[in-house]
């Protein structure tokens, strides 16, 4: 309704970016969580993901860190390029915000990040 009110329309049908493989096999980390996404206390498990957002000036990449207990975003970073620094800034923000006492399992879908 908001988009209709402001006379905005979503853009559809744009070209997807194609990424070239570096030729090196990916290292697969073991699945420690085993799809157990319900935890009883804050900070034992965080999940991460990256998404991309199309803007008039090009693509923006957003990395987020979510605490599985509270389901709140505890760290994020946005940049115009998808580099290691993007994820590291989100993780550093989460560490600074939560200051965990024990080990934290950081889970991702093992995509390009």
Is 64 inside any structural domain? yes
pLDDT at 30 (0 to 100): 60
* Strand 105-107, strand 45-55: pairing: parallel
Taking all residues of the chain, what is their mean pLDDT, rounded to a whole number? 77
Q: How many residues does the chain have?
A: 113
What is the tally of structural domains in the chain? 1
pLDDT, tens only, 23-69: 565 555 565 555 565 666 666 778 888 888 988 888 899 999 988 88
- Of 5-9, 10-14, 77-81, give the lowest mean pLDDT range: 10-14
pLDDT at 78 (0 to 100): 93
Is 112 inside any structural domain? yes
Q: Which residue has the higher pLDDT, 32 or 87?
A: 87
Is 28 inside any structural domain? no
Tokens 């085993």 sit at which residue?
Answer: 34
In the β-sheet with 58-67, what is the strand arrangement from edge to edge? 73-79, 58-67, 45-55, 105-107
pLDDT at 75 (0 to 100): 93
Is 93 inside any structural domain? yes
Cα separation of 108 and 9, whole Å?
A: 32
Is 73 inside any structural domain? yes
Q: How confident is the model at residue 109 (pLDDT cuts 50, 70, 90)?
A: low
Q: What's the predicted TM-score (pTM) here?
A: 0.63
Residue-number span of the structural domain to which 111 is assigned: 41-113
Is 11 inside any structural domain? no
Structure token pair of residue 106: 């950081």
pLDDT at 40 (0 to 100): 64
Write the CATH number for 71.
3.30.420
Is 31 inside any structural domain? no
Is 8 inside any structural domain? no
92 backbone dihedrals φ, ψ, rounded to 5°: -65, -40
pLDDT at 62 (0 to 100): 93
């Amino acid at each position: 309704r908001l988009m209709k009110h402001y006379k905005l329309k979503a853009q559809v049908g744009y070209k997807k970016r194609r990424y070239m493989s570096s030729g090196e096999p990916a290292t697969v980390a073991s699945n420690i969580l085993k799809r157990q996404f319900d935890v009883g206390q804050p900070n034992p498990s965080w999940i991460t993901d990256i998404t991309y957002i199309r803007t008039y000036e090009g693509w923006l990449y957003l990395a987020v860190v979510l605490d599985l207990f509270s389901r709140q975003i505890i760290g994020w970073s946005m940049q115009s390029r998808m580099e290691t620094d993007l994820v590291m800034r989100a993780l550093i923000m989460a560490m600074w915000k939560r200051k965990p006492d024990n080990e934290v399992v950081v889970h991702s879908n093992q995509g390009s990040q």
